[in-house]
Structure 1
Amino acid sequence: MVSFYSSCKKELATVKNEDEIVSPTTGTRTEFTLDSIFLYAKQIYLWNDALPDYTTFRPRERYNDVQSEISAFRSELYDISQFKINQATGKPFELSTYNKLPKYSYLQPGRTTGGGNRGGLINGEAVLAKRLIHLNEKVIAYVALGSFPSLSNAESKLDQVFDEIATDKPKYLVLDLRANGGGYVETAEYVANLIAPITLNGKVMYSEQFNQTLQSAKATILRHQPYLDENGRTVIHNGRLATLADVDYTESGNTYKFSKKGSLQSIQEVYIIVSGQTASASELLISCLKPYFNVRLIGEKTYGKPVGFFAVNIDQYNVYLSSFLIKNAQGWSDYFNGMEPDLNIIMPDNPILGDTEEPCLKATIALINGKIQAQSQKSASILKQRLNAMPVLINRKDSIGMIENRLKLRY
């Protein structure tokens, strides 16, 4: 038996499971919520294969002495997240990075109105700066993206910027994602389609891989979660209200392909400025481009988030359990510990974005021009000294200083 609450009314929903004993049908509100968090994880958590059964985990007894209700729920989520070990590191995939909180999964008060997923934090404008740099015979386009807001808010600006840089047919693109923590995946996809040539149309951009329970439509617990459209409205499916159990969680049903946008056709090499703040949808964009372009990273190691989630409502909380792995066209997703830069540069404080003397952009231009070589373990201090002694000669021609529902029903 699993329980959850709709507003303040308690509802009990039967979950059939022949392999284990599930939670009792009586208890306090807190006990039911503790049970529900664990039982949802048993079916929808990406690494549910590592979780013990209910009687072994004993959520009610395990968190009986935790001081506050929300602390108990967050402690439970943290413990759930630490079972699966990354064999490459010998440590949990969701190793705590701050105050015993999972690296990816989280819980917050309130109830979602969209039922969808989002790829990271949204901070500020989509486009922070752009310019064209002419270096001898080389044409370099520079675009700094601060976040990926909703596509409806960002599309016209992105179209304008990429159409403007397309006029000079640049071969080299410098994307500055150093402060981009992600945002709407749809918008990151749109940027990938602005960069890609039309020859990539129909080729795989990326795919989402859910656990086997979800892929085989056996996550029966999701029958208690209504499926909502992008406007937060319920949907009729097969003559009844759709639930999240009706979603297509197969990898083939969650594979996204290129569909060219805009007029830019000339990019062959992509240089991306990154930092520890570069995360989620930003890393997705990098991963999507890697199979098709010569991609070089400049700066510091990225955050490392190749997973996504969708919200489930449990009592008065939204719970976001890591639920799918994000893979590019080559099946690559192994950047849990971040993407290492090809050229290490210490991030300067308060950089002037687009300034060719700014250390990261200066290093990138030198890399494009063959003045320095990419080497991920190069000493940043030595590199900084070399850059300070290296003139960069350019002709300035142009200088101008999330919950989305992506779950699809099965038909």
Structure 2
Amino acid sequence: MIKRLNSRKYILIALALVPVLFNACKKSKVNPESPDTEQPQPGVGNTKQTPTSDRRSLTNDSLFLYAQQIYYWNDKLPTYDVFDPRTYTKLGTDLANFNNELFNITKLSGFETVAGSSFPKYAFIRDENTANGSQSTAPDRSSSVDLSDIGFDMGFLNFQGYGDNTGYELFVKAVYPNSPADLAKITRGTKITKIGSRAIGTNFDAEVALINNVLNGSTSSTTFSGIRPDGTTFNDVALSVKKYTSSPIFASKVIDQGGKKVGYLAYSLFSVLTNPDSKNPTDTRIDPVFANFSANNITDLVIDLRYNGGGSVETAEYLLNQLAPANTNGVMFSETYNSVMKSGKASILKNQPLTDSKGQIQYSSSGKMYTLNDVDWSDAGNIYSFSKKGPLNGLKNIVFLVSSNTASASELLINSIKPYMQSVKLVGTTTYGKPVGFFPIVLDKHYSVYLPSFESKNKNGEGGYYTGMKPDFADTGGSDLYDDAEHDFGDPKESYLNKALSLLAPVAPSVLASRISSKGIAGATANSVKLMKTDYSNSNMAAAGMVETRYRLKK
């Protein structure tokens, strides 16, 4: 047993990485027509857009011109001449210049500015040449597991420290399945006592750089010592940055809570389905989980989304159909685009080939290549309805475990299932706040641009949670309810899960108290928690987005 002090202080490990949105879906290499073929009409403030063959200038142009037509808040943008996209050339790399231009585009929306950040809250650009799936030896250090489940790191999502600068304990928050750390049997709840030759826990200021270097990939190989949640120790276990295929499921199990069976699913991201067939999709990771829940007649479920930044809308739809009670039908959610797109006037999309879920370009029966300009972006054409899947038919109540990292497709899942459950409750902290989604636009053959293009709403027209979803039971920084990295996923002693179980299947107070006090982590009253570092920006915990890759053609 690890002894815990009643008076608790938290250290949230800080990273100085690109802060948000680098886990979007990996797309196959698509070579759209040259973006400069889309010329603005005369007399609309485009006198500065002169002919050029310079690729960077053309990409600068395209980034702004696409935003003028497909950005959800395109009505906030000025003319080409006022914005002058070709002036974004002063930084060291093309990608840095494009990111700077994107940031200045999104600042105009009034929705994407984050205090202290030089990146948008939602929009982002990804260089597919440095994506995990494209790499064999040198990973993109700002990325972790992507939506194709490809990881290229040691496997640590993040760490969390408890204590103060001169005396703290460092615990693993989560480990990606099949990663080097996972194969070494390091899990959430593992206490790290040494990294390399350096003991951890006595001088945070001197040790934080070492910890961050593990997370951001600057350290490609080192050793770890520590204590696993089951009490077993390990010494100088060598881990290296490696490429691996992961799974979106951190953990799943059925928990006996006072004689009642409660399902538990810890879900890391909405990665692409293993079989995204449009007529009969399946998933080899999700399907066995719900088969087990069905076999145990689960009516109450805890879904742990506290580190889930979103991902594929198609996967969210699939999971919603698994959760839905038997015979559920009707609206699941709707997607609304800007007026230019809804009216079919986003003609610049003719430069983007239409691809299926596997990245294959689509053609008509006559051999014509379809483009995104052939897609129906109207309100009526973007309503998605339930079509029940899977064997779990009697689900009634769900408690979601959430945090500020719960974003996008995760929030879509919560918002869309609410009208169909007897009870939906949230435990944790306020979610990220991203009711908008996007589809990828490819520029210069290798830059995938994700501009928010639609807003989602549920059956009741509810959405607009730009400031996040507030929990019903809030983590206020006390030891009675907090993100408890000292316990593994699915352990009923874990603070958030313990609270969720008490809501779904109340038991005697003495049972709940024994779970908490068994490791000495709570006193008679809740103790305040000092957040020593709060502005961490680990890209491993970034919002992946709400990526739409399903398209319906105009009739």
TM-score by length of 2: 0.60
Match of 2:97 in 1: 72
1:94 aligns with 2:112: yes
Deviations 1:121-150 (A, max 9, x none): 566423332333344464422222223332
Cα distance between partner residues in 1 of 2:270 and 2:38: 40
Whether the aligned pair in 2 keeps the contact of 1:141 and 1:172 (CA below 8 Å) is yes
Match of 1:375 in 2: none
Match of 1:408 in 2: 552
The letter for the 2-side match of 1:143 is L
Unaligned runs of 5+ in 1: 1-5, 86-92, 114-119, 373-382, 389-401
Give matches, 1:106-255, under 5 Å: 106-110=124-128, 124-136=246-258, 138-152=260-274, 155-201=283-329, 203-237=330-364, 239=366, 240-255=368-383
TM-score by length of 1: 0.80
Structure 1 residue matching 2:317: 3-state secondary structure: helix
1:317 aligns with 2:447: yes
Structure 2 residue matching 1:144: 3-state secondary structure: strand
Query: Which segment is superposed worse, 242-251 or 167-176?
Result: 167-176
Structure 1 residue 180: Cα displacement: 2.0
Match of 1:117 in 2: none
CA gap 1:385/1:370 in 2 versus in 1, 3 angstroms: farther
Cα distance between partner residues in 1 of 2:75 and 2:552: 24
1:357 aligns with 2:485: no
2:435 is matched with which residue: 306, 310, 323?
306
The letter for the 2-side match of 1:43 is Q
Match of 1:90 in 2: none
Structure 1 residue 387: Cα displacement: 9.3
Structure 1 residue 236: Cα displacement: 2.5
Whether the aligned pair in 2 keeps the contact of 1:94 and 1:104 (CA below 8 Å) is yes
Cα distance between partner residues in 1 of 2:358 and 2:504: 45
Match of 1:55 in 2: 81
Structure 1 residue 160: Cα displacement: 2.0
Structure 2 residue matching 1:199: 3-state secondary structure: coil
Give matches, 1:21-40, under 5 Å: 21-22=45-46, 24-27=49-52, 28-40=54-66
CA gap 1:129/1:67 in 2 versus in 1, 3 angstroms: closer
Match of 1:104 in 2: 122
CA gap 1:9/1:101 in 2 versus in 1, 3 angstroms: same
Structure 1 residue 220: Cα displacement: 0.9
Q: Identity rate of aligned residues, in percent? A: 38
Query: Which segment is superposed worse, 135-144 or 286-295?
Result: 135-144
Match of 1:83 in 2: 108
Deviations 1:141-191 (A, max 9, x none): 222222333222672332222122223333321111122222322222222
Match of 1:116 in 2: none
Cα distance between partner residues in 1 of 2:250 and 2:99: 36
Whether the aligned pair in 2 keeps the contact of 1:112 and 1:318 (CA below 8 Å) is no
Cα distance between partner residues in 1 of 2:35 and 2:490: 56
Superposed CA RMSD in Å reads 3.1
Cα distance between partner residues in 2 of 1:322 and 1:111: 23
Structure 2 residue matching 1:163: 3-state secondary structure: helix
Deviations 1:363-404 (A, max 9, x none): 1122234589xxxxxxxxxx965799xxxxxxxxxxxxx977
CA gap 1:385/1:17 in 2 versus in 1, 3 angstroms: farther
Cα distance between partner residues in 1 of 2:359 and 2:491: 43
Match of 1:366 in 2: 502
The letter for the 1-side match of 2:454 is F
Structure 1 residue 206: Cα displacement: 0.8
Query: Which segment is superposed worse, 359-368 or 143-152?
Result: 143-152
Structure 1 residue matching 2:419: 3-state secondary structure: coil
Cα distance between partner residues in 1 of 2:483 and 2:260: 26
2:458 is matched with which residue: 328, 331, 336?
328
CA gap 1:347/1:370 in 2 versus in 1, 3 angstroms: same
Deviations 1:14-53 (A, max 9, x none): 4353661335232333222222211110000010011111
Match of 2:209 in 1: none
CA gap 1:297/1:185 in 2 versus in 1, 3 angstroms: same
Query: Which segment is superposed worse, 138-147 or 184-193?
Result: 138-147
2:39 is matched with which residue: 2, 8, 15?
15
CA gap 1:66/1:180 in 2 versus in 1, 3 angstroms: closer
Structure 1 residue matching 2:498: 3-state secondary structure: helix
